[in-house]
Structure 1
Amino acid sequence: MPPLLNRICHIGFHVAEGQQLASNLMHQFGFELFATRMAGWSRQLAFRRGNAVFLVNERLKPGGREVSPVSSSGFCKNKGILYDVDLQPSVGTASNICFEAEDVPGISQSLEERGCQILITPTAVGDESGYVTYSVVGSIVGNVSHTLLDRSQYCGPFLPGFHVVEGASKKFQAGGQITHFDHITYACPQGSSQAVLDWYKNCLGFQRFLIHQQDDVADGYTIQGSGVGLRLTAMRYSGSGLTLLDQDCKIVLAESLSEQKNNQVDTFLEQHGGSGIQHVALYTTDIIGTAAAMAKSGAIFFKPPLAYYSEKSKEQEIRRVGQDLQLLKDHGILLDAEAGGNSGPGLHGKQYLMQIFTKPLFTEETFFLELIERCGGTGFGEGNIRALWQSVQNYMDQHA
């Protein structure tokens, strides 16, 4: 299958007015608010750090003033256009992954012929900076949709109707650089991963890849025992317009195999109202500096059990790759020197990754962010899953 998509343009949220997501992205996580727009009953706020762009759709309360942004003759009027579907969710959700593409009408027709649900047919929208063409296709994962967007005829800062915001978040001390989205993780019901993999392969051209030497093509990578039951499978897409900062698009599927009451995957499914985007990983060139700056600004991270750092094997693993054990412990950063099956030779080659996870960004135990720095490690921190699982479980038990 020839490449259909180029690169991720942005990831979209839907939240109710009054939630703190937009403020927290800017003040706690150092994202720059660079463009805004009013669309019908929604306020759209675009944030960025490096090539990682979040688009927050805030649903305004009834009784507010509906505002129609700029429109251009000959194109669909911008009034009410979200470049997405209007979910009006009861809980905050990350639900849209927007891909840049070159032939939106052709791709949309091909997807429709394959039985995909086209939620918004190809539509042209413009302003004084040109025009874009987009469509929206529904996936088979809960409320997740994909906007297909052609910006080749547009020279504005983001999308038609958006207005530039100058110097909105200069007070944040950025710390390490965030360059792009590293991966996106879906929380899925038991037994659904293969259907999701098949849909993304047949419809969008994603390819399955193994994340660990114990990863099985049919069953994925399973972790069971000591209160943990989890299956991970992964897929990636390498588009034609990728740069070194974009990398490829990687999606990880997580499904619970645990009978433990209130485990985090099943809790997500219950509180979110079905499967969806559980977390987004942001790639940073300096995880210690980035995490420290975010924590200083009020971001709250999960910290692994103290026993994580006192285990002899983990202590040796950290020291062998040249990292400071106490520094990682102070910030709660996890290190996996066996990432992507690089055990043995990988340790001598210092191939590893470091990661840390925020607490949920919404009232519900659903969406969170991950920071990840790769030093040759290609996996997703499989060696840290038990520690992460336990830290999240401790948090959930305390808030039960």
Structure 2
Amino acid sequence: MKIDHVHFYVEDAKVWRDWFVHHLGFQAVAKSISSFHTCTEVVKSGAVCFFLSSPLLPTSPVAKFLLQYPPGVGDVAFAVEDVESAIALAQMHGATILQPIHERQVGTAFIKCGKIAAWGGLTHTLIQRRCPEVGIDDTKKELSLSPCPRVPVSSSITAIDHIVLNVAVGELERAVAWYENILDFQPQQAFKIKTDRSGLHSQVMVSRNALVQLPINEPASSNSQIQEFLDVNRGPGIQHIALRTTNLVSAIAKFRASGLSLLSVPQSYYSQLKQRPGLTLSPLELEAIAQQEILVDWQEYPPLGAQQTAPLLLQIFTQPIFQQPTFFFEFIERRYQAQGFGEGNFRALFEAIESEQIKRGTLQ
């Protein structure tokens, strides 16, 4: 299993196509897959593919979604080896089948897909390609790259690292069981983050082949940022998507130059980093990281016999990209086979978002 694409439901697909092109250096795909009631644009960067849909008529499924939820992720599509088995497993465990399996041809590939209801307004499309080597990026007869309306920054985004789902208080165990039973995910890391003001509980779910990582959060206090998301989103949903890059410092400098708004990190954070055991960054590297306000985490005491260079995790987060404080992006670089999510960074992110909550007046 792997992530095939993520489908955003927005008010104006063309505006958001231009946003991804201008701010993140995505390329716009020329072939339209719109229908009479829905406009759909497609943008790509590396292995990352986003569908952006907006309603043309009130009968559009996107219009119905936007009546209930603010703009955001409506569907996460997974490529699977056997869609019939995947849908049968989902059905056996009580999942709601929204679209039965149907087959269509895209270029030279034959695609079978079905759709299931997930958590809140989220759905999952399950896709099987008869010719695995043919994907949306190389079906050239159907999809080609169009000239972009603005000159894009050169994007170094290569893949989706993980996708984060927020659920209501008391629903974490049920959501974990749902992904275990329906999609055969397995539990991995668990976090409990608590500050003086609020908290959250998180359980990371991973597909059997470890290519899909899905942390699930629930609020641990009534004023938690997770609860604020649930209130504004009017239910559970995707809080953020982490996009992987090979050179985060360079990428963020370009994104900032394009006008992308990112969460602030106080410089005192970097003074504290220097006090932690095991920091392998040179003073020059740390200065460049601090200038871009990037979070850093590593294992302070690696196990005996571990490689000399400790795995290092670099992360940074955008401000919410839509008008309401719901969905945002994370950018991540994993050095030396760094795994997991970095509990230190997780807490730093939580505190940074708390600062934004205080500015909005939703946290005292």
**Aligning the two structures, in what range does the TM-score lie when normalised by the shorter sequence?**
0.7 to 0.9
Q: Distance in 2 between matches of 1:20 and 1:319?
A: 42
Q: Distance in 2 between matches of 1:356 and 1:156?
A: 30
Q: Distance in 2 between matches of 1:14 and 1:160?
A: 25
Structure 2 matches for 1:297-316, cutoff 5 A?
A: 297-311=258-272, 313-314=273-274, 316=276
The change in CA–CA distance for 1:258 and 1:131 in structure 2 (over 3 A counts) is same
Moved more, 365-374 or 313-322: 313-322
Give the structure 1 partner of residue 11 of structure 2.
Answer: 16
Is the CA contact (8 Å cut-off) linking 2:18 and 2:150 kept in structure 1?
no
Give the structure 1 partner of residue 317 of structure 2.
Answer: 357
Is the CA contact (8 Å cut-off) linking 1:337 and 1:346 kept in structure 2?
no
Is the CA contact (8 Å cut-off) linking 1:17 and 1:60 kept in structure 2?
no
Other structure's SS at 2:162 match: strand
Is the CA contact (8 Å cut-off) linking 1:338 and 1:347 kept in structure 2?
no
Q: Distance in 2 between matches of 1:318 and 1:231?
A: 28
Q: Distance in 2 between matches of 1:381 and 1:327?
A: 20
Which of 217, 220, 223 is equivalent to 1:257?
220
Is 1:205 the counterpart of 2:200? The answer is no
Q: Distance in 1 between matches of 2:140 and 2:216?
A: 33
The change in CA–CA distance for 1:11 and 1:161 in structure 2 (over 3 A counts) is farther
| Identical-residue share of aligned pairs (%) | 25
CA RMSD of aligned residues (A): 3.0
Give the drift of 1:222: 0.9
Q: Distance in 2 between matches of 1:127 and 1:370?
A: 32
Give the structure 1 partner of residue 36 of structure 2.
Answer: 40
Give the drift of 1:305: 2.4
1:301-338 CA distances to partner (integer Å, 9 max, x unpaired)? 10112321222x44555853436222111101000013
Other structure's SS at 1:384 match: helix
The change in CA–CA distance for 1:316 and 1:348 in structure 2 (over 3 A counts) is farther
Structure 2 matches for 1:1-400, cutoff 5 A?
A: 6-17=1-12, 20-34=15-29, 35-60=31-56, 87-89=65-67, 90-126=69-105, 129=108, 131-139=110-118, 141-152=119-130, 157=136, 163-168=143-148, 171-174=151-154, 177-210=156-189, 220-239=190-209, 248-259=211-222, 261=223, 263-311=224-272, 313-314=273-274, 316=276, 319-322=279-282, 324-338=285-299, 342=302, 349-375=309-335, 376-400=337-361
Is the CA contact (8 Å cut-off) linking 1:37 and 1:163 kept in structure 2?
no
TM-score by length of 2: 0.87
What are structure 2's unaligned runs of at least 5 residues?
none
Amino acid at match of 2:17: A
Is the CA contact (8 Å cut-off) linking 2:4 and 2:78 kept in structure 1?
yes
Other structure's SS at 1:194 match: helix
Amino acid at match of 2:91: E
Give the drift of 1:61: 5.6
Is the CA contact (8 Å cut-off) linking 1:36 and 1:162 kept in structure 2?
no
Give the structure 2 partner of residue 73 of structure 1.
Answer: none
Is the CA contact (8 Å cut-off) linking 2:297 and 2:344 kept in structure 1?
yes
Amino acid at match of 1:320: T
TM-score by length of 1: 0.79
Amino acid at match of 2:232: Q
Other structure's SS at 1:37 match: coil
